Amino acid sequence: MFKNYIKIAIRNLLKNKVYSLINILGLSIGLATSLLILLYVVNEWNYDQFHSKSERLFRIVQTMESENNVETDASTPFLLGPVLDAEFPDLINKSVRFYNLQETSHTFRNKQKGVSFKETNFYFVDSTFFNVFSAGLLRGNPSEVLKNPGSLVISEELSEKYFGNENPVGKTLNYKGVIDLTVTGIMKTWPDQSHMEIDLIASFTSLNQMYGADQEYDQSWLWNPIWTYLLLEEGVDPADLESQLSAIEENYFYAYTGWPAGEEVTLSLQPVTDIYLHSALEQEMEVNSSVLYLYILLVVAGFILIIACINFMNLSTARSLERSREVGMRKVLGGYRKQLFYQFIGESFLICLIAIVIGVILVFVSLPSFGDMVGKELSLDLFSHFAIIPGLLLLTVFVGLFAGSYPAIYLSSFEPVQVLKGSVVQGKKSALFRKMLVTFQFTLSIILIIGTAVIYKQIQFIQEKDLGFDEKSVVLLPTKQNLIAWEFETFKESVLSFSQVESITGISKIIGSEKQENYHVVPEKFGESNDELNLAFHTTHDLVETFDLELIAGRSFSKDFPTDAEQAVLINRKMLEKLELNTPDEALGEVFYFYPKEGGRKAKSVIGVLEDFNYASLKKEIEPLTISLVEGTIPFLGFIEHTAVEIAPGNPKEALAHIEKVWKEVNPIDPFEFQFLDDRLAEIYETEDTMSALSIAFSILCILIASLGLLGLASYSAQLKEKEIGIRKSLGASVSDIVKLLSKDFLTLIAIANLIAWPLTFIIAQNWLENFPYRFDIATNLPLIFIGSGIFIMIIALATISYHALRAALVNPVDAIHNN
């Protein structure tokens, strides 16, 4: 019997090649898309799972809360790790600290070979690193390599880069021109699926050499530049440890002499495996992803599969007429209804099986370009995991059941009498159901299209928004704690001597990027007791000129006022509100107290007010800001991390060559590196860019699949109405009349789909946009997007339908009537 079913299934597939193709192709594309999404999601889901002790690994984070500011940092003070080790020896197996000098660029130099590079993924770590994390050591003893001061472990990739084919163990790399680090081990390339990126690690004890052992650089409980990871003892409940952390807050944080009154701190634990998808704190090592995106993608995958399944249902039930005689006869010959149901469900399994084979092939073919798009190296190895092939089969069964159940129930319900009388007409019910399904399909498609348009529009808006400063012509040079600090004025003068260079300044943080720093700054107006953390920005002269900021009152920093560095401050317009002032001019002369790390207090008065500009990314609102002037080598070393150079519009090559020449004269140690500010700012929106590219791709696929289904239905209905069309034509109907006749129903459905999709999408879009403090104006743009998407899908549907409508309309009426 089984053989008989297979035969008849295959013969039916071959008999109606177009429908079979549409069915199988639609399902294949749907399945392939879902599989790609699934691969991506699984990849994201498995971050940091490679650690053999991953379920015992935690990161400790601290929440700081003052009267009007709450901030959770991924980093903690220096001493927290060792203190926790000492206080909870039964709960904590080991702690590991990470420190990168709060810098993202580290120069290493192989003196023998005379090569130097800048590295971003470098940390000083405790010697427990290799006991806690599962990093493969290719050379060296895990418990020894990071023990001694001056030890360095590098990845195999970097070993190649710095030492070529030589064995690097025992050789030295110079770090920042400050200390020599000796390579003690080589580790395997750090896995991509990790929330941290690591290429080089040096022993934590090397910091004594960096700072000098007498410097008490690690004693502050207020400064928190350290990422602290904990490996708990087996069987320890993290909540248990967490509940005991208040003692640490009490005995160490609050007990610290420099602790600001009114500031509350709360320590908590984060499972390491949760960080990548669930953590978006201040001071993250890297920008993490968000689980929300995964949910969105899964929903999209579901949409696409559903749309493909609906094609299957629609085409199967629409063509039920052709199978009805078989059903009737099988029943007459003694087939149970149940057997017929199984036969048809089996056929849909067969089709799904074919579809999934093609789908998997499609996945293999498209995986590299999909990987490029999402910036991941994805791979599908069917045999790499025991569950993959059963999983695919399960998916086949699931889709087969979902897509095949309704057609199977419907088809197996035909009664022999109806067949014998030839009275199996298209049931009104099934036609109505089919219409509902088409409407549903197009509703989903429209939701995706509008969603895509909204995402695209928002990203475009962000990228084109006037940030309040000039980001187009500014070049950034990393100058944190390098030789430029000593010679900044000389460097500046030489760079400016070239006519293409318009202006140059040093800045503490990159304007427009995410990381900005809070300082302890209090307006005098609020009294001395008030403990405020305000955003404080530091710069050298010419900030306003370089970034074309708008001065709305007073003056900018000037060399004519030698006291500016000590006594002057610039504020932004937002600060006016905070100071409860009405006009910018009133702010001039207002006094702010600064509390530097070294202790003491500095009073600075406002000399100028700047129009608001987006000093941080557009993901954050503009807040009250103070800008202080930095002058002299030591303050420069303490605050300035980048040099910004404004270049005249046009070809920047010559100007860059000039800057490089000057750089090499002033700083022969660090390689010359630069980045255009707008490129740097674009990086902030990488996730959104990827999402936008993905959603465009997926909506195209979605429309494609839905249109395939429509094509099938349209061709079927044209076929059914062939005779009617013939008669109408012989009665004088024009081609356009006929096209109208055939398109009317479908277009009505799509119009309904639009009406359903619009309010739904409106709500979703509004919710999504709420995440952005700066968003495009929905009220004026959405009607355009809605109607645009509606018209777009109408046109596609119309094009799909008219192909068949036209063909039907152009057939010679005599033939059509005759054929029937």
Partner 1 sequence: MIKLRNIDRYIDKRLQRNFILKGIDLDIAEGDFVSIMGPSGAGKSTLLNIIGFLDDANEGEYYFLDEPVHSLNEKQKSEYHRSYIGFVFQAYHLIDELTVYENIEMPLLYRKVKGSQRKSMVADMLDRFNIVAKKDLFPNQLSGGQQQLVGVARALIGSPKLILADEPTGNLHSDQSKEIMETFKKLNKEDGVTIIQVTHSDEMASYGDRVINLQDGAVTENNPYEEE
Footprint of partner 1 (CB under 8 A): 1, 4, 7-8, 11-12, 15, 325-326, 328-337, 339, 415-417, 419-421
Nearer to partner 1, 177 or 416 (CB): 416
Q: How far is CA 404 from the centre of its chain?
A: 36
Nearer to partner 1, 328 or 400 (CB): 328
Query: What is the nearest approach in angstroms of partner 1 to the Cβ of residue 808?
Result: 24
Query: What is the nearest approach in angstroms of partner 1 to the Cβ of residue 420?
Result: 7
Nearer to partner 1, 413 or 463 (CB): 413
Query: What is the nearest approach in angstroms of partner 1 to the Cβ of residue 418?
Result: 10
The total number of residues written for the chain in this structure: 820
Main-chain dihedrals φ then ψ at residue 264, nearest 5 degrees: -110, 145
DSSP string, 600-644: S-EEEEEEEEE----SS-TTS----EEEEE--SHHHHHHH--EEE
Around Cβ 438, how many Cβ atoms within 10 Å?
24
Query: What is the nearest approach in angstroms of partner 1 to the Cβ of residue 4?
Result: 6
CA angle 717, 722, 727 (to 5 degrees): 135
DSSP string, 752-812: HHHHHHHHHHHHHHHHHHTT-SS---HHHHHHHHHHHHHHHHHHHHHHHHHHHHHHHHHS-
Nearer to partner 1, 23 or 743 (CB): 23
Nearer to partner 1, 20 or 707 (CB): 20
Distance in angstroms (rounded) separating the CA atoms of residues 793 and 703: 8
806 in Cβ contact with 739 (< 8 Å): yes
Nearer to partner 1, 331 or 492 (CB): 331
338 in Cβ contact with 61 (< 8 Å): no
Q: Which residues, listed in sequence order, are joined to residue 558 by a DSSP beta bridge?
A: none
Half-sphere exposure of 380 (CA within 13 A, CB side): 24
Where does residue 651 rank: exposed (0-12), middle (13-18), buried (19+ CB within 10 A)?
A: exposed
CA angle 735, 739, 745 (to 5 degrees): 155
Enumerate long-range contacts of 275-281, CB under 8 Å, 24 or more apart. Answer: 275/47, 275/48, 275/59, 275/195, 276/44, 276/47, 276/48, 276/194, 276/195, 277/44, 277/45, 277/47, 279/74, 279/195, 281/61, 281/72, 281/73, 281/74
Nearer to partner 1, 69 or 339 (CB): 339
Please state whether 589 falls in left (phi above 0), alpha (psi between -120 and 50) or beta.
left
Nearer to partner 1, 345 or 618 (CB): 345
3-state class (DSSP) for residue 156: helix
Around Cβ 460, how many Cβ atoms within 10 Å?
12
Distance in angstroms (rounded) separating the CA atoms of residues 629 and 617: 23
Tokens matching residue 455: 């995402």
Q: Which residues, listed in sequence order, are joined to residue 269 by a DSSP beta bridge?
A: 60
Parallel, antiparallel, or unpaired: how do β-strands 227-232 and 151-155 relate?
A: unpaired
Query: What is the nearest approach in angstroms of partner 1 to the Cβ of residue 338?
Result: 8
Query: What is the nearest approach in angstroms of partner 1 to the Cβ of residue 328?
Result: 7
Query: What is the nearest approach in angstroms of partner 1 to the Cβ of residue 347?
Result: 12
Query: What is the nearest approach in angstroms of partner 1 to the Cβ of residue 315?
Result: 17
133 in Cβ contact with 51 (< 8 Å): yes
Nearer to partner 1, 416 or 638 (CB): 416
Nearer to partner 1, 417 or 432 (CB): 417
Query: What is the nearest approach in angstroms of partner 1 to the Cβ of residue 693?
Result: 46
Nearer to partner 1, 319 or 520 (CB): 319
Query: What is the nearest approach in angstroms of partner 1 to the Cβ of residue 428?
Result: 17
Distance in angstroms (rounded) separating the CA atoms of residues 609 and 630: 18
Query: What is the nearest approach in angstroms of partner 1 to the Cβ of residue 346?
Result: 14
519 in Cβ contact with 533 (< 8 Å): yes
Query: What is the nearest approach in angstroms of partner 1 to the Cβ of residue 15?
Result: 7
Distance in angstroms (rounded) separating the CA atoms of residues 95 and 115: 35
Query: What is the nearest approach in angstroms of partner 1 to the Cβ of residue 280?
Result: 59
Nearer to partner 1, 323 or 538 (CB): 323
Query: What is the nearest approach in angstroms of partner 1 to the Cβ of residue 686?
Result: 55
Query: What is the nearest approach in angstroms of partner 1 to the Cβ of residue 329?
Result: 5
Rg of the chain over all Cα atoms, to the nearest angstrom: 34
Nearer to partner 1, 325 or 376 (CB): 325
